[in-house]
Structure 1
């Protein structure tokens, strides 16, 4: 079954892989791409999104959203993604114009103009645009099929000991998203840390021997070095495509319905996603947590999409 999705992203090396997965998988219909300040500034990640869409032949509306979190200054991640947000590669000149709408309005318009239950939201960066869209037009909550977001973790952080980068960047927006009465799956570090671009995976990608596979090889060469230097991963986790894989084939992940709250004011724990495992509480929630991943099937999905492109 073809799934219609809106990608909300901050490209970003792993965002780039998610966009390629979306463009190359036959069961994904990308309805729109919106950008948000996160891995790099809004201007840079928007330029990256346009270039990636051009590279992948993805002709869809692309709009720039919020440049900073709802209530905080923006903190970017050049140590992981470089000064451009996509260091290590050269993107083609975009063949499409940026949609004149604000990203939040593009999200709302796309959902409201579609049949209820037909659009899934796949946020891959800070949740600023999604939280703002819920605030501006609450009716989208009942019309979205589901939200599969990359962020958080049950017991692990990466930006701090307690918090994952996307959630730490805008915990207030995250709280809005988790509190809304729609199906939300938190695809966090508990599973994405296992989705590593190992030498074996990269060998399979290089064997495709296409312009896209060469691009991915160059993309990963930089990402390997930055992740090794900053987080001591010999093979970098490719976080963002896992959230999209959950929409394409939900059996790739094991998930549990569990309540999630976001810490917004802790001295050491701001951005922490606190998962409530008390069994008598779970029936009251619409939030889900990814707990296990079939890594081999995940990479089959991604590599197949790259080959299709």
Structure 2
């Protein structure tokens, strides 16, 4: 099997940890680089969380330090949902910085992508600041990129503001750059994460997988949704699902534009499914049973592959 080269931009965050864990052990993927960025919590936490996860999983994927703030705006935070450090509920072993590759994220991503014999897929499960910097600094990089797959945007109501989803609202200017990159894009919007979920019984099945399952069970049990919804909703792994389990999703072509100037709508995703000039495929539905089955099997695979 030819593995798909992958770079991950992430802001862990509990659900980011699940998405990275699945990706690092997926037989179909070759994770070349992880770029922690500001997002759910500050960069110093997301960087350490990434390193700690790799130590726990015994993986050695290079880590590149990403952006510590949005392109233009002040940073926002989701610490109230994910805990102060971003990963409430589980104590990881503290890792050193030996996996950190020195240099600017945009430059190091550019070199990795240009030197790859196969086109690279970009997975974005946090604010898109680093990918926007990559495209602005090195516009020719798009020739070596297969597609961009993100968890972000919203078709209807938002979770950061009434009309804006968190990852996009965090850096709307960066998101607009990425959506106008000319690259093939797949989007798992907020609505898909709201629908994709595992039950409490399924979470017990995950917990029984072993150390990896227990880690994820502990963290997901500590997510505090602002709306008080008791379901275990799965957000960032839905973007990985678009790559590895596409049969679970229904996608529609759309033109996605990001509101940059609205007084009450800044950061909103304007998704036009009637556009004659689409720039993305947006997931509009998910088969919850298929997704949950894939998600659980992916965690079981991670447990089996973890050395």
Same fold (TM over 0.5): yes
Match status 1:244 vs 2:237:
no
Of stretches 17-26 and 63-72 in structure 1, the one that deviates more from structure 2 is 17-26
In 2, the alpha carbon distance for the partners of 1:293 and 1:47 equals: 33
Counterpart of 2:42 in structure 1 is 41
Counterpart of 2:99 in structure 1 is 97
In 2, the alpha carbon distance for the partners of 1:70 and 1:99 equals: 22
Deviation at 1:262, TM superposition (A): 0.3
Q: Give 1:147-158 correspondences, 5 Å limit.
A: 147-158=148-159
Residues 21-63 of structure 1 deviation map (CA, whole Å, 9 limit, x = unaligned): 1123221211110011000000100000111122222211101
Structure 1 length-normalised TM = 0.93
Structure 2 residues without counterparts, runs of 5 or longer? none
Structure 2 length-normalised TM = 0.94
Deviation at 1:103, TM superposition (A): 2.1
Counterpart of 2:271 in structure 1 is 275
Counterpart of 1:219 in structure 2 is 219
CA RMSD of aligned residues (A): 1.4
SS at match of 2:283: strand
Is 1:256–1:290's contact at 8 Å kept on the other side of the alignment?
yes
Match status 1:134 vs 2:135:
yes
Match status 1:186 vs 2:187:
yes
Deviation at 1:237, TM superposition (A): 1.7
Is 1:23–1:305's contact at 8 Å kept on the other side of the alignment?
no
Of stretches 23-32 and 9-18 in structure 1, the one that deviates more from structure 2 is 23-32
Counterpart of 2:295 in structure 1 is 302
Is 1:15–1:124's contact at 8 Å kept on the other side of the alignment?
yes
In 2, the alpha carbon distance for the partners of 1:144 and 1:252 equals: 24
In 2, the alpha carbon distance for the partners of 1:24 and 1:304 equals: 12
Deviation at 1:169, TM superposition (A): 0.5
Deviation at 1:301, TM superposition (A): 2.2
Is 2:200–2:232's contact at 8 Å kept on the other side of the alignment?
no
In 1, the alpha carbon distance for the partners of 2:55 and 2:249 equals: 30
SS at match of 2:59: coil
In 2, the alpha carbon distance for the partners of 1:143 and 1:171 equals: 25
Deviation at 1:257, TM superposition (A): 1.1
Deviation at 1:285, TM superposition (A): 2.6
Deviation at 1:300, TM superposition (A): 2.2
In 1, the alpha carbon distance for the partners of 2:288 and 2:60 equals: 30
Counterpart of 2:282 in structure 1 is 289
Deviating beyond 6 angstroms after TM superposition, the runs of 4 or more aligned structure 1 residues are none
Structure 1 residues without counterparts, runs of 5 or longer? none
Is 1:157–1:164's contact at 8 Å kept on the other side of the alignment?
yes
In 2, the alpha carbon distance for the partners of 1:13 and 1:89 equals: 10
Counterpart of 1:54 in structure 2 is 55
Residues 157-191 of structure 1 deviation map (CA, whole Å, 9 limit, x = unaligned): 10011000000000000000001111011211121
SS at match of 2:68: coil
Is 2:60–2:99's contact at 8 Å kept on the other side of the alignment?
no
Counterpart of 2:111 in structure 1 is 109
Is 2:253–2:273's contact at 8 Å kept on the other side of the alignment?
no
